[in-house]
Amino acid sequence: MTRGLFISFEGGEGAGKSTQIRRLAERLTAEAADVVLTREPGGSPGGEAIRELLVNGAADRWSPVTETLLMYAARRDHVERVIRPALDRGAVVLCDRFADSTRAYQGAGGDAPASLIAALEDHVLSGTVPNLTLILDLPAEVGLARASARGGAARFESKGLDFHERLRTAYLAIAAREPERCAVIDADADVESVADAIWRVVEKRLDL
């Protein structure tokens, strides 16, 4: 039985997820005693070890199907060891990326079959899906410019504008298909305005 609340943050590169997830954690701490801030790929020692394989190296280091399998190996460990136990004790879990990233990056951006991804969601997540997914939306070129100004490991950032435009379209399609779970946030604005827009959705959706 799920007692906690599971909120995922999604979006392309440079959408400001990391900043915004920290802001939401601060605000939620005032409402809920137990807030867990985590990320994917990673979030558990095993997941973080797999992350190193995924985010470093040449853009073509892994095929989209191999990437999908590595993402799901990391995700299963993260769900088993961090997310599920936190939800079971009633925590609010804020996760920087989750299953929608695989649908977008490996499915729409790459060529991993939707049927493979759907089967992995069914069998590997065992019903551990977000109550709310916040999709931070902005034009691909704006996000890529922000991400390259920030620097850092950039295997996925190096995949080209066309790839990143496919991601944006995929995220908007996910939101249109699952409006009860997803909310699209305009991320092409200043940090305060985006944080306020996120808070309004969280208050309304989660009845705080």
Residues that bind ligand TMP (CB under 6 A): 13, 39-41, 55, 71, 96-97, 101-102, 105-106, 156
Q: Is 172 exposed, middle or buried (0-12, 13-18, 19+ CB in 10 A)?
A: middle
CB closer to ligand TMP out of 39 and 84: 39
N residues, the chain: 208
**Least Å from the CB of residue 33 to ligand TMP:** 27
C-alpha span between 152 and 130 (Å, rounded): 28
Count other Cβ atoms within 10 Å, centred on residue 132: 17
Pairing of strands 132-137, 182-186: parallel
Comparison of 67 and 183: residue with beta carbon closer to ligand TMP: 67
For residue 12, the minimal CB distance to ligand TMP (Å) is: 9
SS3 content of the chain, % helix, strand, coil (to 5): 55, 15, 30
CB of 20 to ligand TMP, least distance (A): 12
Instruction: List, in sequence order, the alpha helices (H) in the chain.
Output: 17-29, 45-55, 64-78, 84-88, 99-101, 114-125, 140-150, 161-177, 191-206
Kindly state the smallest distance separating residue 98's Cβ from ligand TMP, in Å: 7
Nearer to ligand TMP, 92 or 117 (CB): 117
Q: Do 179 and 172 touch, CB atoms closer than 8 A?
A: no
Q: How far is the CB of 101 from ligand TMP (least distance, A)?
A: 3
